[in-house]
Amino acid sequence: MKYCPKCSAALVHKRIDGRERLCCSDTACGYVFWNNPVPVVAIVAETADGIVLAHPKLAPAGIFSVITGFLESGETPEHAAIRELKEELGLDAEAVAFIGVYAFEKANQVVMAYHIKTSGDIKLNEELDEYRVVAHEQLYRWTETGKFEVGEWLKRLNVFE
């Protein structure tokens, strides 16, 4: 980002609250790009056979992870998780449990993770092209998920012991 979205003047670096920020060069405008993290929901979707990990079309080959998605305005995180589950995997939510909140600094996101017991048949949407259903006891060896919420949830199942 090079120009102010409010007044189109050039953006400059300024130190505010102890951090470098991109700010409008026109002090009368006063725009500051705070770059606050974006909230995201992550879903550990459980079927009768195990946890569903999916491969997004745009991701590198062989990378599978839990489903994630952005919230719509006016939507609770739990409803977003249930909606994403239906949209991306075609599954219905039968029981929903909150896992935790995680800072995903690399992507500038805050991840709110849910464990959802599901029903129905998996039907991938157009963003996904492949999936695996992994049993709990296999999942902890599945390093490619790269997802902290899976690790946290598995810890509670005590599969590491």
Residues lying near Zn ion in the complex (CB under 5 A): 4, 6-7, 9, 24, 26, 29, 31
CA distances to 19, 20, 36, 40, 61 from 4, in Å: 19, 16, 17, 26, 38
Decide whether 11 or 44 has the Cβ nearer to Zn ion: 11
Decide whether 26 or 152 has the Cβ nearer to Zn ion: 26
Query: 28: which 2 tokens?
Result: 């009368």
Give the largest CA-CA distance in the chain. Answer: 60
Nearest approach in angstroms of CB 32 to Zn ion is: 10
Decide whether 28 or 48 has the Cβ nearer to Zn ion: 28
Nearest approach in angstroms of CB 2 to Zn ion is: 12
Nearest approach in angstroms of CB 18 to Zn ion is: 22
Q: Could you tell me which of 119, 138, 120, 7 has the C-alpha nearest to residue 64?
A: 138
Nearest approach in angstroms of CB 94 to Zn ion is: 50
What is the CA 66 to chain-centroid distance, rounded? 8
Decide whether 6 or 123 has the Cβ nearer to Zn ion: 6
Query: 55: which 2 tokens?
Result: 């491969």
